[in-house]
Amino acid sequence: MRHRRGRGIILLTLPLFLAGSSAFAGDAAPEINAGDTAWMLVSTALVMLMTPGLALFYGGMVRRKNVLGTMMHSFVAVALISLQWVLWGYSLAFGPDVGGWGLIGSLDWIGLRGVGTEPNPAYSATIPHQVFMMYQGMFAIITPALISGAMAERINFKAYVLFMLLWATLVYDPICHWVWAGGGWLGTLGARMFGEGSAYAGMKALDFAGGTVVHISSGVTAMVAALMLGRRMGYPSEPIMPHNLPFTVLGAALLWFGWFGFNAGSALSAGALSATAFIATNTAAAAAALTWMGLDWALFKKPTALGMVSGAVAGLVAITPAAGFVTPLSAIAIGVAGGALCRQFVQWRTRRGIDDSLDAFGVHGVGGTTGALLTGVFATVGAAGLLAGNPMQLALQAIGVGATIVYAVVVSWILLKLLDVTVGLRITQREEFEGLDLSQHGEAGYAE
């Protein structure tokens, strides 16, 4: 009887023992969280939508003979960089650091070898590694597509495709590694500059969702490309007007919508941080849109649709590096600054006759730099900036901005020079007169 009672106790306590074992196992190994995973899948789709949105945004601003060619610049990025990212781009950007220098990832994850469905705690402990990879891949897709705004209406499509592939590999992937990968030098800047035991050891150049990685890198490259390609035929003596502003307004709406995935998704979880970034994103975009529109209204007596949507995008760019680090009131200040400074630069470059066709540098280069530096001023959520009594953060932001600008400009110039010598960057005058749609793709955007 005593033995049967003992066996009964064991059988009754066995489920509790197994449950406790499972709990301890969960503590030891990361477990996928369904809510976080669902949010990151949605965010990935939102960021993917931004590139077709960019196609509409840029496509509406060019002349009708170039609408398909311009939209192709964005759509080809979705296909080409998707494959580049899977084959080697993700490994270079987020793979194990080479040599401890924080400059580039190894090729250990080439072809996604070792990138499975289990979480990688170095990046997120609650979502599958492949979901993180795919989410970051959408950033890699849109970044080179942004550069096309400076090349519009005159770039050789073959040269553009080759440049995009080389630039993603040699510029985007390394800068991404610097900022976001484990061991990247900008992500460990405090420890590298001041030592592990320093009070600044835990500090880094802050970039919540891509101010340096995406916008500054693409923006300064766009200016290099615009200067190397030269002006379009007839610019600036002849008016070159947008052919379809409703396209541009729709594209801006899709960008604003997708940007919630871009910024709030960078929290990598569904929680308080994603809510902070979500609110900051919308608030800054609204402030910048009204700022640009208001300045147009005050100076030219007309509130323009193009000005308002350009302002919205400028605000979205400016808040991107700061989205998870600032309060809503700080987001308003960043949005106002982004809208005003980007508009001021666009006016200046127009007077100087610089043909950054669709203001890729004016919005992304200027807006990204503004936002990255102001992150060092306004950061109070999870980090402390200048206004919180930490001027060192602003100094680290300036280092990150400077390094990104120098590297992107130098490597982009070399790549463009090589392609100009080999395949030719610019289409012929006859092809430019005919338009990209017919000369590069044998199609027409509209039936005559």
Break the chain into its structural domains and give their ranges: 35-441
pLDDT of the residue at 30? 73
Contact 136, 90 (CB under 8 A): yes
Count CB atoms within 10 A of the CB of residue 158.
14
Contact 155, 226 (CB under 8 A): no
pLDDT of the residue at 239? 87
Task: Say how far apart CA 271 and CA 276 lie, in whole Å.
Answer: 9
Which residues of 291-334 form beta strands (DSSP E)? Answer: none
pLDDT of the residue at 18? 39
Contact 170, 162 (CB under 8 A): no
pLDDT of the residue at 447? 82
Low-confidence residues of the chain: pLDDT under 70: 1-29, 448
What amino acid occupies position 75? F
pLDDT of the residue at 29? 62
pLDDT of the residue at 177? 98
pLDDT of the residue at 14? 41
Return the closest-CA partner of residue 240 out of 446, 429, 61.
61
Matching CATH number, 35-441, of 1.10.3430.10, 1.20.140.10, 3.30.70.360, 3.60.15.10: 1.10.3430.10
Task: Say how far apart CA 74 and CA 55 lie, in whole Å.
Answer: 5
Q: Could you tell me which residues come within 8 angstroms of residue 183 by beta carbon, excluding any fewer than 6 positions away?
A: 97, 100, 102
What amino acid occupies position 69? G
What amino acid occupies position 321? P
Task: Say how far apart CA 169 and CA 181 lie, in whole Å.
Answer: 15
Return the closest-CA partner of residue 289 out of 242, 335, 349.
335
